[in-house]
Structures are given as structure tokens and as C-alpha cells.
Amino acid sequence: MAQRDLILMGPPGAGKGTHAEYLEQHLSYAHLSTGDLLREAVAAQTELGKQGQSYMDAGELVPDELVISLVRERLAQLDISDRFLLDGFPRTVAQAEALGRLLDDLSRGQPLVINLVVSDEEMVRRLGGRRLCEECGAIYNVHRDGLDVGDECPRCGGELYRRTDDEPQAVRRRLQVYKEQTAPLITYYQQRGQIVMVDAEQGQQQVSEELAELVEGGASKADND
């Protein structure tokens, strides 16, 4: 098999969403973002959305059971020949263990984990400047693109907004939650020989090229098979 399923990991603001979109478009990955799925559920005010909203607005994690069942449902819909890309999941060791079991049940191999590495200062700067298109979901940054809330999306003309959890107080909490609950997953996957590190402070194009190279066969360093 040429390509392997992927998990894109990294702190908030590392560029998971941006690079996942690139891999989805250029390498035909099925992109599964738990953050996007949860935001859709909130917008549609489904039962899941109602349960998840307060956690998300505060920058807290949504309870494991809710997120795991969401991912289980989505993975079960995939064809065995589809390659998936998980973005924002797993975020706790319990989620990683549940995912491992889920993939065993589906007779899939274990994914390659790519960890996007950025400094704390850069994370805060990026999240503070992040703006999204309410129509197509494209991600921009005030510092890089000069686009702000209320401006038109260059791609589709939709209006740009700022995520509630990109406000400073929620950003601080998300970084803390990342360090306490998600960063331990790096060791978890290192012990399993499944993870590679990518410097995500390079230019976006450089990171994209490095990712493409990794997934198109160069990932032997973390490859156990």
C-alpha cells in the first residue's frame, strides 16, 4: 500500500487544519477533524452539539465518550481502501487507546503520527490572528494575510469570523489543556515507534512539502512494518 493512514498532531495553532486541507486536496485523504465535526454539531444544535458547546467555548476538552463515538461512527463509514487523516483526535491517552482498538476491529493497520512542532509564543500569535470563512471554512491569519473579521473570503466571498475559543482567555486554557492532556501522547506514540516530528514554524509551503514527502513513502523512520 502506497499510503498509510495519518494522525496529524500538534498544539492549537500548529496548522493542523491548514495542512490537513492540503493533504486532503493533493493526496486524496479522507479528512476527519473532530473540531470541525463538533463545530458543525453545535451550529446544527444536535444533541452532541448541545452537550459539547460549553466545553468548547471554555477551551476545555469535550468528554472522551462523546468524541470517541463520533470518530467510531465516521471511521465505520470509510471504505477499507480509503486513507484517512485524523486532525484533532486523539487528544487524550484514553482516546488513543480507544482508537487503537477501533482500528484493530476494522482490520486496519496503525496510522503514522505526524507531530507539528511550534513554540508557545508562535501558538499564541497564530491563534490570536486566526480568522475563518463562515461559508467554506478556509483559514486565514491577520498577521499573514491582512484579513480581519467582516472581510470577504478571497476564495468564495463568504464573511470572515473569529472562533469564540480564539479569544485570549480560552486560548490560555487550550494551551494548558494541551500540555496536561495531549502532549503525553507524544511519548505514547514514541514508545510505539509510530511518530515523526515536523518543524511547523517553517513556511507553510515548506511544511506541506515535508508532509507530502513523508506520506509518499519516506516515512520509513517511524515505520514498523
100 Cβ neighbours under 8 A, 6+ residues apart: 110
112 sits near ligand ADP (criterion: CB under 6 A): no
Q: Residue 151 burial by CB count (10 A; 0-12/13-18/19+): exposed, middle or buried?
A: middle
Active site residue 130: yes
**Pairing mode of beta strands 195-199, 112-117:** parallel
End-to-end CA separation in angstroms for the chain: 11
**Using the rule CB under 6 A, is 126 a contact of ligand ADP?**
no
174 is catalytic: yes
Give the integer Cα–Cα distance in Å for 211 and 182: 21
x/- letters, 173..192, toward ligand ADP (CB under 6 A): -x------------------
As a whole number of angstroms, the distance between CA 135 and CA 29 comes to 22
**Binder of residue 62, out of Zn ion, ligand ADP, none (CB less than 5 to 8 A by kind):** ligand ADP
Cβ neighbours, 10 Å, residue 88: 23
Alpha-carbon gap, residue 223 to 225, rounded angstroms: 6
171 binds ligand ADP (CB under 6 A): no
Quick one: which segment of 24-32, 33-41, 100-108, 132-140 binds ligand ADP (CB under 6 A)?
33-41
Instruction: Single out the residue of 7, 9, 62, 133 in contact with ligand ADP (rule: CB under 6 A).
Output: 62
Q: How many angstroms separate the CA atoms of 121 and 38, rounded?
A: 27
Residue type present at position 117 = V
Q: Which does 155 bind (CB under 5 to 8 A by kind): ligand ADP, Zn ion, none?
A: Zn ion
Beta-carbon contacts of residue 38 (< 8 Å; ≥ 6 apart): 48, 49, 52, 56, 62, 67, 70
Residue at shortest CB range from ligand ADP: 35
Answer for which of 7, 20, 67, 198 binds ligand ADP (CB under 6 A) is 67
Based on CB atoms, which residue is closest to Zn ion, 138 or 222?
138
Q: 16 an active-site residue?
A: yes
Stretch that binds ligand ADP, among 53-61, 104-112, 192-200, 205-213 (CB under 6 A): 53-61
Window 106 to 135, contacts with Zn ion (CB under 5 A): 133, 135
Query: Which residues participate in catalysis according to the annotation?
Result: 16, 91, 130, 163, 174
Residues engaged in binding Zn ion (CB under 5 A): 133, 135-136, 138, 153, 155-156, 158
For ligand ADP, the binding residues (CB under 6 A) are: 12, 16, 34-35, 38, 55-56, 59-62, 67, 88-89, 91, 95, 165, 174
